[in-house]
Structure formats: C-alpha cells, structure tokens
Chain A
Amino acid sequence: MEVLRLAVSATQRGKLISAGYTSLSSLSSLSPSDLARDLQISESEASEILKAASHCGRLDNSDGSHAIVTGAQTAWDMFHEEDLSRCITTSCADLDNILGGGINCKEVTEIGGVPGIGKTQLGIQLAVNVQIPVDCGGLGGKAIYIDTEGSFMVERALQIAEACVEDVLEYRSLRKNFQACQVQMQPKDFLNNILYFRICSYTEQIAVINYLEKFISEHKDVKIIIIDSVTFHFRQDFEDMALRTRLLSGIALKLMKLSKKYSLAVVLLNQVTTKYSDGSFHLTLALGDSWSHACTNRVILYWNGNERYAYIDKSPSLRSASAPYSVTGKGIRDSASNYKRIKMM
C-alpha cells in the first residue's frame, strides 16, 4: 500500500486506509474539502496530507525505476481497490445480493427489460440512493441522469427521495447516532443533486457523453451516471449499421474510461427487441451483438408470473442468478411475496 510510505502521522494514515485511500493515485484528484469530509478531519490537515502525497508522487516519478510501469497496477493492488470500492444499493436486498452488494462503482452495468418492467424506476432509485450519506453506508455522491426518452418524472423522484430520507432517519435512530443527524436531509436536496440532461437526438447524446469528461472533472462528487435509455435514439433510421456500431462502441469506451478514472458507476438502460433468426423471432436486448460486449455487467429484468425478476446475464465476477424485486410507491423494494415468506419463518 502506497500510503504507508506517506510522511503523515499514524492516525492520519489509519484514517486514510479505513476511508479507502490506499494508493497515491486515489489521492491525486481530490480536493482538500473532499478529503476532509471523508476522513472527518479539518481542511488544513487534509491539505497537508495532500501536499505530502503529491510530494511523494513526485519523488516516485523522478525515481525512474517505476517510470516504465507508471500507471500500471499490480493485480494485488487492484484486488484491494476492488475490495474497497463501494456499491450503490438498489434498495432491494435480493437484488443487491445477486449484484454483490449493489451497482458497482468503476463498472458499466447495462440493465434491460420490456416497457413497464421498472427500468426507469430503478434508474431514479439509483440516482437517489447514490446520495445516501456516508455514515449510513452510502456514497454521499451526486448523480448525472441523461434522459433520452422523457420518462423521468420529478414527482416520482421526489416520492422515492422522501422514502429514502425516511429510511436514512430510521437507520440513524436505530444506531442512536444523533450527532450525524445534525445534517438535515430534505427530499428537495436530493433533486438538486440529480444533474439532469434531457436529450432529444443521438447527436445530442454523443455530444453530452463527449462533454461528460470535462463536466465530471469539475463535479468530482458525481458517483453515478445513468442513461435512460442508451438505445432510444439509435433505433431510428440508421442506414449504415456499421456506423451505428462504431458510434455506440465509442460511447461505451468513453463511459468505461470515465467509470475507471473517477471510480463512478455507469448504468445504461436498454430496451428489448425481437430478433429474427433461424426462421423465428426471439427476444433480446436491443442494439445488436457487438453492443452486448460493450458493458461489463448485463442485467435483464423480466416478468415471472406476477413478479418482477432480475437476472444476471453477463458479468466477469458475479455468477448468474436471478432475484425477485418489486416496484412500490416508495421505489424499488424487496418482492412482496418474498417479504411474507421471511416474516412467516
């Protein structure tokens, strides 16, 4: 762990490690106030740590021996970082379970399903949940919501935010952590922290995604990007399907890079379509075969009888599994029938 080499006090080092700052690179893009908040120390103390880190970083670079592998990481370091990188809860325990704790930061997750299955609901839920404060196990970040379909409804987001505030207050009162309660949480603040872009054509979509890099470098507290849906504008008159594939893979690469660089989660919502092959129609996620390689994880939402289910279709680290969830007035929650089952036991 690189922080062990920093010229800071042992308590500071301990705080850094427990907050997840193990490498110099993780400190390089931080502002003192961010660090102060994460470690709960004064801002001047934080800026001293950052100074020490940048000094240490310079030494490393001038050293020369590391030069050839600058930017490279050992698998061991990556493993540790992965351990520390946090998840955004979906508010449904079963769904979190199969996702390995929730939607992973640093990864691009694609979620697809038929109209009305709850894609937008899940998107809004994540945009709210990313803001759950750090002391309640959240990320305390902001969300970028790129709406291509116009299904984002302010009142629905407010409803979900209200339920989330209730949950947070309940969590805090359970832990009797009244000191942290001083920060008042208003559902309206949640809306303020959803940075909303309404997109009306694929040119705009590409423009916004190109612009995100700059935007996020100015808004480092963004922890999730949601595109609802990545598909919509790419399903009309593309004569040149090869061009479409190139544009889409360009988008995917940029988002992948952003998610790694700023350790934020990217969630792409996708539609389903019928595919004609071998003389019959099948159901599949839209945008074709080459797109299916573009995302790290792929989750499919579907109806199973009267229940909504999510299925991990593709993931490098998660096993394929499915779990029920439900869409309630409060947002995404555990499946009702499952809840009953637990209660009965």
Chain B
Amino acid sequence: MFPNPHSQNKQTSLSLCVYLMRPENLLKQQEEALTTQKCSVGCPVLDRFLRGGIPCNSITELVSESGCGKTQFSLQLLLSAQLPLSLGGLSSSSLYLHSEFPFPLRRLQQLSHSFRSSHPTLFSSHDPCDSIFLHPLHSAHQLLDLLHNKIDSLLSNPPPNTQLPIKLIVIDSIAALFRSEFDNNPSDLKRRSSLFFNISTKLKSYANRFGLAVVVTNQVVDFVGSSDGLNGLRVGNLACLYSSGRRICPALGLSWANCVNSRLFLSRNEEVLGKETGLVDDDGFVQRRTKRQIHVVFAPHLPESSCEFVIVREGVFGLER
C-alpha cells in the first residue's frame, strides 16, 4: 500500500505520512499481531514483563544509580537484537554510544559467550560481537553532531562486514554528557533543555524513519530537601524512587522526562533474609541479599508494575513471582 520508506524517503527528512499528506494505516504491518515491533531483552520473564521487550519507534530510558544493571541490560540487548524476528529480536546489528569509560569489553565477551552457547545454530559461523558498533561520546555537542551528520549514512547503508542493518541504538549514559558542562542557573538550564529536545527530536525521527529501538540510560541524583513544592514533583507511577535505601530522583530534571517515551527504573535494595524469624547463619551473621527490581515509571503501553531480577554470569534474568 505504501512505498517502502527506506527506498522512497532517503533524501528527504520529511516523514512519509507528511510527504504524502495521507494518514498512516495503523493496521499496516500488523496483519497477524496488532503490536508495535519490540526487541527482546534476552530473558523470557523480562520480555513478558515488558510485553515483548523494548519498543521500536520510540525512546526508552533506563534510570538507576550506578551498579544496578543499566549497562548489563544494555549489553544484553545489543546481543538479543541480533536474534531473528521469530525469536523476538530485530535481526539487526546495533550501535552503542558510550560516554562512560572504559567500555566493559570483557563483560560483553562473557555475555556473548553464553549468548552464543544458548543459540549454537545461529551463531556457529560468526561472532555476535561483530554486529555491535561502538562509538565513544565526550560531549552533548558531539552527540548532536553525530546525529546530524554521520548517523544517517550509517543507518541507511548496512555497515560493512555484517548484513544486518542497525535497528538498535543505545546511549549509555545520557546524563554523563550533561553533568559537567552546565551550571545550575536559569540561562544554562534553558540552553540545556533546548539541547535535550534537539537530541530527542533527532533520535525520535530516526527511530520513526528506520524503525529503530532507542535506549538511553540515565543516572540518578540524591533527593535533597523537603518533598513539597517543585523539588518533590512526582513524575510517573511511583511517588518516590528508592534505591540502596536512599531517596533518589532521575538526573536531568523535568524537561528531559518530557523527551523520552518510556521510563524504566532499576532499583537495588538490601534485604535481610529471615528477618521475621531472626534466623542467623552458623557464623552468627545475618544473611543479606540484594533485591533488584525493575519498575515501570511511565510508558504508554505498560501498566504500573515491577519485576524482580538477578544479574548472574550469564546475564540479566527476571524472576517469576
């Protein structure tokens, strides 16, 4: 019914529906299943929790303090994006823009190893790491420059030495780009929020044109002060976010929250096992464990919910309740 947007629309940056001045048919690609295309996160429990995974054509934000599993999540996503559509992937390669150094290459190798062994037939001949492209980021302006000038050709022509086009972009982390350069005064904040919208618009328009899944990770800041007024402004399903026993809030503030379509929050809290019974182990220590959870803060397609997960050698896995 519609011409293929990739062939028709390469030169112009207008989206197809505007180009033709015709509304899109919402039933078009979904002859069999009426859902947005999703990218599996590499665990059936988490996929069920996310109703299929990370949605294409939109920006999903993962927010957590450091060490909660943002990067683990992203790395696993880079691998599962390569799975064929029938297995929940996008059958695509992926682009990983990292502003936090160094890049955890060893961990990626480890994950790729177990990924390969769980799909031996698919990756017998090539290494999944070959379909992951890395690019360092040093500043917000560099990211913008990349989005304006370089990424277009990268997305329209499948990169050499892999047949898979790029369908997944991960930015880890967006917060690191903004934390040093800007002051906490009105004019700097205004400049900063204008940049947010610029970056987000670009990302969304590529996501829409090429059917990309875009994931950005964000850091948190400690919550200081009283909870009334603007400071404690509630965004999303959770009245306040707690991690490691502290109250925190996502970095970059309200205007950035307007720039993403979905926000997922990863929390980590120490839990004392057998607290009720007062059980201690043989050595007299109270047994503790880390309880990790992923929460939907807001998302157009997900209800308020949360899911417990663990990080093990083989990757990130959800726990069935």
Contact = CB atoms under 8 A, between A and B. Distances in A.
A237 B300 contact: no
Contacts of B204: 149-150, 200
A120 interface: yes
Interface in B232-262: 233-237, 239, 253-255, 257-258, 260-261
B21 A215 contact: yes
A236 B208 contact: no
B13 A200 contact: yes
A192 B1 CA distance: 14
Contact of A199 (B15, B55, B297): B15
Given A115-B298, A150-B207, A211-B21, A233 B234 contact: no
A306 B59 CA distance: 26
A200 B26 contact: no
A154 B30 contact: yes
Nearest to A200: B205
Nearest to B206: A200
B107 interface: no
B15 A198 contact: yes
Interface in A194-250: 194-201, 204, 207-208, 211, 215, 231-233, 235-237
B234 A114 contact: yes
Contacts of B255: 235, 273-274
A281 to B, nearest CB: 5
Nearest to A144: B23
Given A235-B197, A235-B255, A273-B254, A198 B17 contact: yes
Nearest to A304: B234
Interface in B6-40: 13-15, 17-18, 21, 23-27, 30, 34-36
Interface string B34-69: 111000000000000001000101110000000000
Interface stretch (A31-39, A43-51, A54-62, A155-163): A155-163
Give the dominant DSSP class at A's interface: mixed
B162 interface: no
Interface string A113-148: 011100011000000000000000000000010000
Contact of A196 (B24, B197, B209): B24
A207 B12 CA distance: 15
A282 interface: yes
B55 A283 contact: no
A155 B237 contact: no
Given A115-B258, A116-B297, A197 B17 contact: yes
A146 to B, nearest CB: 9
Contact of A115 (B35, B205, B235): B235
Contacts of A276: 186
Contact of A153 (B15, B194, B236, B300): B300
A271 interface: yes
A304 to B, nearest CB: 10
Contacts of B261: 149-151
A23 to B, nearest CB: 31
Nearest to B205: A200
B227 interface: no
Contacts of B235: 114-116
Interface residues of B, number: 51
Interface in A298-345: 303, 306, 329
A200 B300 contact: no
Given A235-B194, A283-B233, A306 B239 contact: yes
Interface residues on A, range: 35 or more
A196 B26 contact: yes
Interface in A170-211: 188, 191-192, 194-201, 204, 207-208, 211
A328 B192 CA distance: 35
A30 interface: no
A214 B301 CA distance: 33
B72 interface: no
Contacts of A156: 300-301
A235 B191 CA distance: 11
B27 A204 contact: no
A56 B63 CA distance: 66
Nearest to A120: B300
B312 interface: no
B230 interface: yes
Nearest to A161: B34
Given A201-B205, A273-B254, A281 B51 contact: no
B156 interface: no
Contacts of B197: 232-233, 235-237
Contacts of A207: 18
Contacts of A153: 36, 55, 300-301
Contacts of B59: 150
Nearest to B255: A273
Interface in A270-298: 271-274, 276, 281-283
Contact of A116 (B15, B23, B237): B237
B198 A236 contact: yes
A307 to B, nearest CB: 11
B169 to A, nearest CB: 14
6 contacts: A116-B298, A151-B300, A196-B24, A204-B14, A232-B197, A273-B254
Given A150-B208, A196-B26, A200-B18, 16 more contacts: A114-B254, A116-B263, A120-B300, A121-B300, A150-B59, A151-B261, A154-B35, A192-B26, A199-B15, A200-B208, A201-B205, A204-B15, A233-B201, A237-B194, A274-B255, A329-B303
Interface of A: 114-116, 120-121, 144, 149-158, 188, 191-192, 194-201, 204, 207-208, 211, 215, 231-233, 235-237, 271-274, 276, 281-283, 303, 306, 329
Interface of B: 13-15, 17-18, 21, 23-27, 30, 34-36, 51, 55, 57-59, 186, 193-194, 197-198, 201, 204-205, 207-209, 230, 233-237, 239, 253-255, 257-258, 260-261, 263, 297-298, 300-301, 303
